[in-house]
Every structure is written in C-alpha cells, then in structure tokens.
Chain A
Amino acid sequence: MDGNMIDMAITAAIALSDPMRLSFLALGVLIGLVLGVIPGLGGLVGLSLLLPFTFNMDPFTALAFMMGLQAVVVTSDTIPAVLFGVPGTVGSAATILDGYPMARNGEAGRAFGAAFTASVIGGLYGAMLLALAIPIIRPIILQIGSPELLAICVFGLSLVAVLSGSTPLKGLAAACIGLMVATAGDDPQTGTLRWTFDTIYLYDGLPVVPLALGLFAIPEIADMVITRQSISGGANAGSRWSQWEGVKDVFRNKWLVLRCASIGSGLGAIPGIGASIIDWIAYGHAVRSIKDSGKTFGKGDVRGVIASEASNNAKEGGALLPTIAFGVPGSASMALILGAFLIHGLVPGPELLAKRLDITYTLVWSVAIANVLGAGICFLFANQLAKVALVRIGILAPVVLAITYIGAFQGQNSWGDISALLIFGFIGWMMKRLRWPRPPLILGFVLGGLVERYMFISVERYSWEWLWIFREGTFAPWVDIILLMALYGILAPVIRRWIARRRAGEKVARGIAFQRQNLDPGMYFNFAILAMFVATITIASGWEFGARLVPSVIGWGGVIFTGGAIFSGLFLMPANAPAAIAPESRAEAEALQGSALGPAEDEDVHFDIQADYGDLSVRTIFVRAANYFAWLLAFFASSFLIGLLPAMFLYLVGYMRFEGRESWKMVLSVALPLWFGSYFLFHKVLLVTWPLSVIGNFFPVLRTIEWANLF
C-alpha cells in the first residue's frame, strides 16, 4: 500500500464519518437485515427499490447506503436457516445442514453466536482483501478466462463426492438431477428450448430461489408438522451465555474461519461464481479438511455453520473487485451498484482505480462498518429469536410456510415459482425421508449451467488445448492446478481407505442373490428416478448436437448411478451388517464396502439433515404427510382462484384453526398482523406484480384499484 492509497483510505474514512452518511449506512443495514430474514428476498430486491432514491445523494452517501444494505443480507439470512431450516437467501443454504439440527438440539443461541461472529470476521476479511487487492486486481482477473472458470466449476462439482457421505451412488445421481435441471431453458449454443414444457417461465432456466426453498424449507416444515413437535423439541432455547459459547467456538476454529473467508472472498471476486455456490464450496472444504467430520457434520456441528457463514459474508468484498476494476458485475445486486456508479458519473475500469480511489475506499469502509453493525444488531435480537424455537407447531408451521410460499414467488413473480416450490418440495421431502443427500442436487444445479457454458466456450475456442499448461504459447497453469486439486480431493480418501483395508488384510467376497426385503418404497423411488433419466435421454435425442450433448451425458450418468444403487440394493448379499448404519442406507453402504469407494465399516456418513420421526408408525407419518401436502395444494389452488395474498390469509386462518386447533383469538392475533405486514411489504413497498387469478379475470376492475390489485 503506497502513500497515496493510505491518503485515499483516510479521505474516504473522513468522508464517511459524516453523521448524515453514517445514518444512511445504518439505514441500509437495517433494511438489509430485514430483507435477509425473509426467505426469497435479498439484496437485489432492496437495491432495485432503493436505487432511485440514491440519485440525488452524493456518491459517498449513495454507495454507503447501498453497500450497507447488500453487505448484511447474508448476516441475517442465518436466522431462518437456523430456526426453521429455511434459507433466508440462497447464500445460507449450507448453513441449514448444521444450524437447524443445532436449533433442534436446543443450541439455537450457540449457532447464532457462532454464525454472527463468523459473519463479521468474514465480512471484515472481505473488506480487507478488497482494500489490498485493488492495485493488482486487473491483471489477476485478466488471467481468469473460460477454461479457468470451467476448472473452478469442476472443482466445485468434485465436492459432490465428499458431500454424498456414505451413499455415493445416490449422491452422484442427485448431482445428476441438479445438473439436468440446470440445463432447462434457452440453450446458448443452438437456441433450443430445453425442458421448458411449453411455458415462458422456464425460458431462462429455473430460478434458484424456489428450488432451494422447495428442497430445504418444504421438507423441514413437513417434518415439523408430522412430528408435531416445536423446533427444539423438549430442549430449551438456551440463554445469552449460549451465544457466547458460539463466539468462543469461532475463536477456537479461527483457521477454519480464515480459510472459509478466503474461499468466500476469492471466489466472490470471480464473475459468475455467485452466492449460491460459495457457501457449499466452503462447507465442502470444512467437511474435507476436518478430521472425522463424517461423525458430526449434518447433525449439528457448529463448524459447519461457521464455514458457511464466514464464506458468504466475505464474498461481498470480493464481488466488488470485478465490478470496480472492469465494470463486470459479479451478481445481479452488483449490477445495481454498478448502476449507481454510472448515475454518479463514475466509470469502472482503470480510470476509477487510478483516479477515484476515495470511492473504492468508501466501499471498503462501508462493507466493514456494515458488517460490524449488522452482526451487532443480530446479537441483540438473537436471544429473543432463539425462543421462536419453542413456539407451538400449529402456529409456527403455517406462518413459516406462508412466508416461504410468498418468498418463493419472488423468484420471478410467476405461477411457475409456486409450482417449482411444490414439486421440489415433494422431491426434497422424499429425498430427506429416503436418505438421498440433497446438497449434491443443489450443487449440481448451481454449477450445471456454468459448466456447460464454459465447456463449450473453452473447447470451441481452444479445442483440447484448454486442458494444457500452455495455451496458444502462453503459460496458463491454473486450469491444471485446479483440476489436480479436485482430483486429489476425490482420490486421496479412496486410496487411503484402500490401503487401510489392504493392511487389515480384509477380504470381501460378496454373493449375488435377489434381496426381496429391499424392495421397499425407497427402491420404488430409485426406479422412478431411473425412469426419469431414461426419459430425459430419449427426449434429448431429438435435439441438435450442441443442445443434446450435455443433457445426454448427464442422463447416462444418472442411469448408471441410479442403476448401480438399484443393483446393489436388490442383488448384492449383505455382508456383516454394521448396526450403526441406518436401515435406509444400509443396502448401498454395504454394497460399496470393500469397493474402496464406500466408507469405512463403522461409519454412517450423511451430510444432510435426517428425518427423525421417533416412534411414529409408518401409517401415521403417511397420513400426516398427505394431509400436509393436501393443505399445500389447497393453498395453491385457492391462490389460483382468488389471488395469492388473499389465499395466504385463508390458509393461515384455516390451518391454525382446523389443523392447529388454536382458539379464534389466537388465530386472528397471528394471522391479521402477519397478513397486513405481508400486504404492506409486498404490495405497498415492493410493488409486486401479482399473478393473474380467476377472480381477477372475471372482475378486471379489481386490477385498476391500486390498493386492491391483488388478483
């Protein structure tokens, strides 16, 4: 850092210390925190709404206001993730895996303490990286072309291997489902419309919000309803001291925090690698680097929360780098911040870097202050929030569900969002129940589009030279370094296990015979998935080569992995069944033991929240689940008839009264404020365009009245 930079950093700090600017920064933080808590809403919504108000501010105030908002969304999105297993934004999906089990164990306070501390450290780290990297960032980003991006995405996909735990075949098949869903939409090579089912909704592919909410939120709420237990079960929600425990956890794991913050800010700086990817890579890294992670991760290990949260706050500092240096926004939110730059006559690029360092340092300080402020506010409220885990399920479930439902609709403001939420909600619940790991699916989904895009560009541009350390005569080693890292990550544990078994002199001889007892609902689900992959291959075979290639490869992968899972379940004779392994995954776990692919004998590794129905009978579970999904469908149908927001009120009242058997007084005192709050937020503030309902088609006049335009 030379003298000029320090001068500029001080100039920016002085400019920002103006009370007016600080107040706007704080206001931005408050708005950001609120948006983060509500599933489906995030920085993008807030920024697009607030951008017009910044037109008349000076550039320092405008940027402080906007960055304040954007930087803390990923701090507060932890709250619903931990409390309900519902990701506040896609950036906190990985937080659920350990955060939610912690809340169920009565450790919500500790999870919050750890998450907010990790967030603030991650955020400060990101800001620091932003400050230090400015002079060198242009040459670095110029090195990262499509082949490098492809390698990074492949590295991300390699984490599927570790996130699949002791069910590698199901994990790989789940990843294939995610990859396949990611190919939906207008294909950039040939312009073929893939998997759009004749709807406009899927032209640009499936948005990630309804998918993530469906996969994680709907199943968690379902299981709350099925077990009829409040979130923390019998455990209490803990005291303020438990938050302190979480803070100490972070300092005990300081290296993990720093590593994950580096992952977050480093990947955040790469345009195209967004929030939905980064938390998973950090989580995967934690799983891989922590010894014996298989025993505790996914069951409420605080380190899982720390990894995810440190990375997603660190991302914002990184994401500003390409925005400032090249005017290439790393995310949709950054595109709006870029918009603010241009409105104030600031053109990103070499000029901004060289002549307006004060602006850049304003951003650095804003990110840093916002993170401290945001985490501080969250700490103040965490104790109260943790008590939500004690609320009766008859009230809590409909409230969380109604908010999730409206949140998913913020994906594209279309019926398609709701359909996707329900479809993936059902798939997610089946997967959770049948112990298919869900993280590989979402990882496949968020990386799938990028892998295909960069693969075509890399191969068309460089043919196979993209894989080589010299490209057109220039030394370009990064692709190989990253790919070797991915390969090492996959092979090292396999080889270690193989050696261990060789030493133990273990002999595995497995007979083959039809295993009738394994022909259960889980197996039928496998068959259904297999059929789906076969169908996709068949349909894709009619497309042009460029459109067909990737879906066919994924489809065949899916067939092989699902087929393998079916074969091992139905035909391999059990070895000495280790009792520690849950019955649902026993077949596959057993089948793979000794194949070196499988886990060691005494492990039951599953990096996902597991269903725990206590001693409920299968019949009870089935009836309650059917009831839950029937309510969901009724909500959907009534939305279609009378509009989404009016239907939400009906649902809240109906469910609390008739399922929860709450008193009318209770029902109305929850439903009315919640409904009017939603009405105010979505209709009045966010100006959501509601989907067209039947009643509105009959009475178009309703749509001309602003306050009643819900139909």
Chain B
Amino acid sequence: MFQKIAIGLASALVLFLTAPSSNTAAAGEIEDFYSGKTITIYIGFGFGGTYGKYSRTMAQHLTKHIPGHPKLIVKSMPGAGGLKMANFAYNAMPKGGYHFLVPPDSSVVSQLLRPKKVRFKSQDFTWLGATNQTNTIFVVRSDTGVRKWQDMRTKQVISGNTGPGSTAFLIPAMMKSMLGLKIKQIAGYKGSSKTILAMEQGEHQGTAFNWLAWYSKVPHWFDKGKEFAYPILQTGVYKDPALPNVPMMKNLVAKEHVPIVNFMATLGIIGRGLALPPGAPKKLVEPLRTAFANMVKDPAYIADAEKARLRVLYTSGADIQKFVNGAISKANPEVVGAARKLIFGK
C-alpha cells in the first residue's frame, strides 16, 4: 500500500516536472537547462585521429555559445570503425540532452552496406552541424612511380586499411572495381596513425583517409619538390578546397556507378560534426544548431583549429539532416546491392 502511494506520488512529481515542454523554448529556458551542467561528447574512435582532435576543439569552444555555458567533455568509445559508439548512442545513450555524439562519417554508408552490424538509423539522429567536410583522399608513395590515377591501371599499389568498414577499405575497393585499378588490399592496421606509419615503413604504398588526417600527421610528406607521397584521387560531394587539382572520383566512373559514388559521398558531408541521440528534447535542437553555427564563425575557434592543423568547413545541421534523409530514402535496393557487390564482392 505504502509502496503504491510512493510510486503514485513520484509519478505525479515526474509529470509535474516534465509536463511543460514544447518544441520551441525561450533562451532563458535553455540557459536554465544547461546552466552548471556537463555535456558529454562521445566519439567512436581513439583520441589520436581527427575525430579526437575536432571533438576536443569543439568541446573547448562550444561552451561559449550554448546558453548557460555548460562544461563539455569528450569520451572515446572505439570499435568496429565507429559503429560501436553509434549503436550505443542510438540504443543506450541517455537522451536527456546532456549527451552528444560525433557520428562516424560512414554512418549512412554502413547503414546501407553493412546492415547486420548497424543498430541505428542515421536519419533518427538529430544533426547539429559539421565543422569539416572530409573528402576521402587516396594518397600514394612517390617511389611507386604513380603520379595520376591512370598510372594504377598498370602499376600495382599495395594498400593498407583498418578493416572492412573503414573508408581506407571502402574507397580503394571502389577504385579497384569501378576504375579497374590494380590495388592489393591488406586489412588489419589499428587506427590511422599506425596505418600511415606502415606506409612510411614501406609495408604498403597508399591508402585513403580524409585530407586532414594526412595533413595533420605527415605534412612533410607533401613538401614541394621532395614529395614522399602524392594525393591522386578524392571522393566527396564538393572538391576539397586544399586539393583543386586532384580529380573527383564521381567524374571518372561509368554512368551506372554514379549513384553509388554519390551515396558514398555522404561520408564527406557528414564529416566531423555533432548530433543528438534520438529522443532528445526537441526544444534543444534550434538553440544547439544556432550555437554550433556561431561556434564555427568564432575567430577563436578557427584559430585554435588551425593551431591543431584542423580547418573549418561548415555544413549546417539542417543541411546534413536533409542530405542524410535523402540519401537513405533514395537508396534503392539495386544501387545498394550493386555497391555491396562492387565493394565486398558479394
């Protein structure tokens, strides 16, 4: 009896506390919501790569732009090319608005190509914005003699990657099957740093990461006149501004492959940004998107990003949401099936 009363009272309290929530909120309400609180940002990779670097820089600066100025901290939950964290975010992350995620750029691609492992729907994340577009750039050691992508039709390149879900696997696999290039893939390196070290050691000769991974880790490879390696091909929606002379893959493939390359290009749009897990309070979306937009314009943020050899190429949360939803709703089973066949051979 007592127990029932207690539960009744508690439920009434809960209703009372949670009732007045609507989709839009006054700034004051958000300020109260976040004042003195901590937001935890989860990344699906280790701290050594660009996910780690961007999330830390964002955590440091976003606090200024969110009403109430909450503290932001970053946690790393690596596994299965970021899928572990994304699965966790969709299913088990607290939805109160105090937990954000940096979705892996392969979210949409994995959802379509590797459905067995994916327990999330990218379209159900609420995207807040991206601070960088990350075209994937295939880079080859100069001692292979490869200077442009066509050279790889005759010269074989050994390419290392971190596993079948990674861009370092996906993009070279597409180059191989769609452009008929001679690429031998070796899987199993742990993280981008070790993959790049193995390339320097000569264990493999080239692979695909986003441009910043290359540029922040091994800038000296690209010194004019003494190049250790060359960027030769990029995949994305728009050309990377730092690489105007590196051809885009979507312009080179046969017509029937264009839709596949296009949905792979979601990788670039998603880039490195923030999202809320499904079920987070709707009233937070607009204020947080605004905060994100203000952050990327903040000179202090841009300066700190540059110091860490990162850059800022903003995409709004609304745009990513549109792009992600579109890519998934338009992905017809034929294109997805063809992509899977071309990439995984089955």
Contact = CB atoms under 8 A, between A and B. Distances in A.
B129 to A, nearest CB: 21
Given A332-B46, A700-B96, A191 B219 contact: no
A547 to B, nearest CB: 11
Given A51-B56, A142-B200, A700-B14, A343 B307 contact: yes
Contacts of A322: 197
Contacts of B218: 327, 349
Contact of B309 (A342, A412, A454, A456): A342
A208 B233 CA distance: 40
Interface stretch (B78-86, B250-258, B269-277, B323-331): B78-86
Interface string B99-118: 10000000000000010110
Nearest to B203: A145
A398 interface: no
B5 interface: no
Interface in A659-699: 687, 689, 692, 698-699
B220 A345 contact: no
A271 interface: yes
B179 to A, nearest CB: 22
A332 B47 contact: yes
B215 to A, nearest CB: 10
B187 A188 contact: yes
Contacts of A347: 216, 219, 309
Contacts of B87: 200, 203
A350 B40 CA distance: 35
A457 B189 contact: yes
A272 interface: yes
Instruction: Select the residue from B79, B81, B196 with max chain A CB neighbours within 10 A.
Output: B79
B91 A200 contact: yes
B96 A703 contact: yes
A349 B220 CA distance: 9
A63 to B, nearest CB: 16
Interface string B40-53: 10000011100011
B119 interface: yes
Interface stretch (A308-316, A333-341, A495-503, A650-658): A333-341
B37 A706 contact: yes
A204 B117 CA distance: 12
Interface of B: 7, 10, 13-14, 17-18, 36-38, 40, 46-48, 52-53, 56, 59-60, 73-81, 83-84, 87-88, 91-92, 94, 96, 99, 114, 116-117, 119, 158, 160, 162-165, 186-190, 193-194, 196-198, 200-204, 216-220, 304, 307-309
Contacts of B94: 689, 692, 703
Shortest beta-carbon contacts, A-B, top 6? A204-B79, A203-B84, A186-B80, A335-B48, A191-B164, A203-B79
B219 to A, nearest CB: 6
B190 A453 contact: yes
A329 interface: yes
Q: Determine the main DSSP class of B at the interface with A.
A: mixed
B201 A145 contact: yes
A48 B43 CA distance: 13
15 contacts: A186-B84, A189-B164, A191-B114, A191-B163, A191-B165, A200-B92, A328-B48, A328-B194, A343-B307, A350-B220, A413-B75, A456-B186, A461-B204, A700-B14, A706-B36
B53 A339 contact: yes
A318 B48 CA distance: 18
Given A52-B59, A335-B47, A706-B38, A689 B216 contact: no
A14 interface: no
B172 to A, nearest CB: 14
Contacts of B164: 188-191
Given A145-B203, A339-B47, A342-B308, A689 B193 contact: no
Contacts of B81: 186
A689 B77 contact: no
B340 to A, nearest CB: 12
A193 B189 CA distance: 17
B13 A142 contact: no
A350 B92 CA distance: 43
A326 B38 contact: no
A200 B42 CA distance: 15
Nearest to A413: B75
Contact of A328 (B78, B91, B162, B193): B193
Nearest to A348: B217
A689 B99 contact: yes
A701 interface: yes
A687 B73 contact: yes
B209 to A, nearest CB: 14
A633 to B, nearest CB: 22
